[in-house]
Structure 1
Amino acid sequence: MSQQSVPAGGGAQRDLPPGLVVDYDFMRPGPPGSDPIIEISRLIGGPPVVWTPRYGGHWVVTDGRIIPEVLADYERFSSREVFIGMPPGRPRGVPLEYDPPEHTQLRKLLQPAFTPKAIKRWADEARVLGVELVENIAPRGHCEFVADFAKHLPMIIVLRMLDLPLEHREKLIYWVSTGIRSVDQEERAAVREKMNAYIEDLVDRRTAAPGDDVLSKAIHTEMDDGSRLTRKLAIGLASGLIGGGLDTVATTMTWIAWYLAQNPGQRKTLVDEPQRIPLATAEFLRRFGVSNIGRIVVKDMEFYGAPLKAGDAILMPSAVRGLDERVFDDPLTVNFDRRNAHDHTTLSHGPHRCIGIVLAQQELRIFLEEWLSRIPDFELDESDPPVMAPGIVPSIDRLSLKWRAL
């Protein structure tokens, strides 16, 4: 087999068989307007791990069966850089971009905000907010789902957790969405700079005058070794809470609404049998895997036929896991009776499994329960087609829905 010379993530040159090299851009996996999740899934079926020269060169796992192995094995795959292709200057997320044992200590600081009692409080608030949003929308007979609902519910909860003014939500939604999704590197860097300045000011204020919010408690709580968060770590923690609390939940909600608008039979099932919503939520998270999480290779190794080098970046698209028929039977079909639906990696896996996973699931369930009880029959507005958006978090940027207003 002939060889092709490509740069390694660690900066070295090496030869790779052409069969291991693909020109794959996860920020633009398919033609403009195509379904980015389906485009990502087209990687499935070739070599388990392939190399792409995009973004300085990195590996991509294309076999859904081994994605949990990479995500869980921090001794071989470090979390110190989890977002491939991001601009420089971004604060490190806490605890997302630290490995155990540091990760374990940092995660402990957030745990009080995600106890069952705390989650019930946030979920109760989310339900009140969800009802308010839907009841304001229902009489119209139409909405742009992303702007009118999806981005507001999770961001309002994050603002409550951090004790921030609700009027800040519009600019934070814009900064987070652009910083994660825009394919324009300069635009992403510009909004990141604004968001960093906002978060730095927030951390300084919470350090000087702590409140009862999750950030203040984390800043002023001693870790096991008696130390406290440094300013840099506190900035990363706040950045991770704001970004992580908004985008995955809002994006998944939008994919769910898009799907249900086109599948009235399954929509009616959830209306008539709301007890099926919890498992349906897991199934939607599986079918619409929206995370593209990276790791850094710790040491040289042969990994499923790929010659990994220390310093290489490796990408695990959750859509590859969720749509691999070797993991899930008939994966393109949404099946509310799927017994292993929870085996997805949309909210990561292993020690870095999303600390807010229970809250995220609750928000999605609340959306389904409160929306479907008030707007049971809705469809896509054919005059304003959905706008599919690739990126680190593949999404639908615009989703116009319509229904018969009562």
Structure 2
Amino acid sequence: MTRTPVMDRITVPRPENVPADRVVDIDYYNLVHGDEDVHLAWKRLQDGPDIVWTPHNGGHWIFTRFEDIKAAQTDHAHFSMRSIGAPYSPTNFKPLNLDPPEHAPYRRLIMPHFLPKQVDRLEGVARQTAIELIEGFADAGHCEFITDFAKILPVTVFLGLIDLPMSDRDQIQPYADQATRGTQEERANAHRQMAAYLSARLDERIAAPGDDLFGQIIKAEVDGAPITRADLMSICLLLLFGGLDTVASMLGFIARFLAMNPDHRRQLAERIDDVPFIRHAVEELIRRHGVANTSRVVTMDYAYKDVLLREGDIVQAPNLFAGLDDRVVPNPLTVDFSRKFPIPHAAFGNGPHTCPGAVLARREIEVFLREWLRRIPDFELAGPARMASGAVNGVEALPLRWPSQGG
């Protein structure tokens, strides 16, 4: 998806509870242009106050430090999940938009399918897909990483998890792109298109549920009653949108980093069979390249630190700030594969809403590193990358090249 600057987003005057020295001119949908590093663009906010406010996208606060990101992610009494975007845009994605304890019964429907045993099975799908993709272009000496690899691997794994046809991959992937970084109209259209697609598939699956994730949800009960079709749509839409973009975005950032940092690439290639080292490296790469920029709704007037948050205010808590906070991470812009464990970050959230697919996401990144570096240990940028921000930070284009293996 090629994104053009958006000029029609809602900009509002500064409310009386916002001090003038907290105002920043930040539109998170238009944060970067071209090959500008999106994480560095976000990090510049940490040079100012810990909590700032922008008039763009309906006006919202931005938390920029680890402790505040964690507070927004775990203090559901003051920060609600009923809207996770700015401007205020309530959605019906269960369990994401439910606060504790209401979210727990719906989360229990999902979690068994993301336990390590299930992820071990999906790892085989990921490995086979990665090998086929890489060997399909390795001899050519170049690829467009995002379209040729990053967008294909996670959606293939996810369609296997939910037992939907692989032939649907090209149809639904653009919806995820539009939903996370498109205009308001594009986002709304993406949701409509995905809902229409899913509704037809669910009709088929309700008749023959099967034992995959979708099938188990279809047969599930919540509070002793069969799950409603509306709730079924809500959960399945969340799974589709959640499974199609975030891993692809993370893969793009990691591939870009390795293309630009041959020493790190060689460290990984030389120890590619050292499982503890590779998994530690994956965690460090995730820390450095957070992707989700979700928001919360303030539930009541609340004096938080040195600002007054009003009921209904939107607080954005970009998770990348946690991993880039120099108060808790020494030299946070430096990727250090020997960094002491545990590695602080909030890339998958904290508390009850921690991403259920975190184990699978880590495993897909690990598979990418192993299978790619075994076949293409030396590669570089073949041109400028194109980055974007929005609900999810992403890499929209990443041309790579390496010595041709085709002779």
Whether the 8 Å contact between 2:91 and 2:97 is mirrored in structure 1 is: no
Change (3 A) 1:302 1:281: same
Deviation at 1:196, TM superposition (A): 1.6
Q: List alignment gaps of at least 5 residues for structure 1.
A: 1-5
**In structure 2, distance between residues paired with 1:340 and 1:38:** 24
Q: Which residue of 1 aligns with 2:281?
A: 280
How far is the alpha carbon of 1:33 from its aligned partner? 4.0
**1:29-68 maps to which residues of 2 (within 5 A)?**
29-68=31-70
Partner letter of residue 169 of structure 2?
A: R
The separation in 2 between residues aligned to 1:372 and 1:400, in whole angstroms, is 17
For the residues of structure 2 that align with 1:141 and 1:30, how far apart are their CA atoms? Answer: 29
Distance (Å, rounded) in 2 between the aligned partners of 1:80 and 1:227:
24
Residue in structure 1 matched with residue 7 of structure 2 by the alignment: none
Of residues 358-367 and 300-309 in structure 1, the stretch that sits farther from structure 2 once superposed is 300-309
1:59-110, Cα deviation, whole Å (9 max, x unpaired): 1102223211220111211111112248x6x852222211111211111001
Which residue in 1 is equivalent to 2:99? 99
Normalising by the residue count of structure 1, what TM-score does the alignment of the two structures yield?
A: 0.92
Residue matched to 1:270 = 268
Q: Give the Cα–Cα distance (whole angstroms) in 2 for the partners of residues 248 and 315 of structure 1.
A: 18
Q: Which residue of 2 aligns with 1:122?
A: 122
Preserved contact between residue 91 and residue 235 of structure 1 (Cα < 8 Å): no
- Are 2:72 and 1:73 equivalent residues in the alignment? no
Contact 1:206–1:216 (Cα < 8 Å) also in 2:
yes
The residue aligned with 2:298 is: 297
Given that residues 91 and 232 in structure 1 are in contact (C-alpha distance below 8 angstroms), is that contact kept between their aligned partners in structure 2? Answer: no
1:210 maps to 209
Equivalent position of 1:231 in the other structure: 229
CA distance in 1, matches of 2:241, 2:186: 17
Which range is displaced more, 333-342 or 248-257?
333-342
Q: Is structure 2 residue 163 aligned with structure 1 residue 163?
A: yes
For 2:30, give the aligned amino acid.
Answer: R
| 1:218-243 per-position Cα deviation (integer Å, ceiling 9, x unaligned) | 121123x2023222221121111111
Q: Provide the aligned C-alpha RMSD in A.
A: 1.8
Unmatched tracts of structure 2, length 5 or more: 1-11
List per-residue Cα deviations over 1:135-188 (Å, max 9, x = no partner).
112111100000110111100011111111111101211111122112x32223
For residues 14-64 of structure 1, the C-alpha deviation after alignment (integer angstroms, 9 at most, x for no partner) is: 343211222221112245542221111111132222221111111110222
Do the aligned residues in 2 keep the contact of 1:113 with 1:214 (CA within 8 Å)? Answer: yes
Q: Which residue of 1 aligns with 2:6?
A: none
Identity %: 40
CA contact (8 A) 1:45 1:63 kept: no
Once the two structures are superposed, the pairs formed by residues 5-404 of structure 1 within 5 Å of their partners are 13-85=15-87, 91-182=91-182, 184-223=183-222, 225-274=223-272, 275=274, 276-340=277-341, 342-381=343-382, 384-404=383-403
TM-score relative to the length of structure 2: 0.92
Q: Supply the distance in 1 between the matched residues of 2:156 and 2:241 (Cα, whole angstroms).
A: 13
Residues paired across the two proteins, number: 391
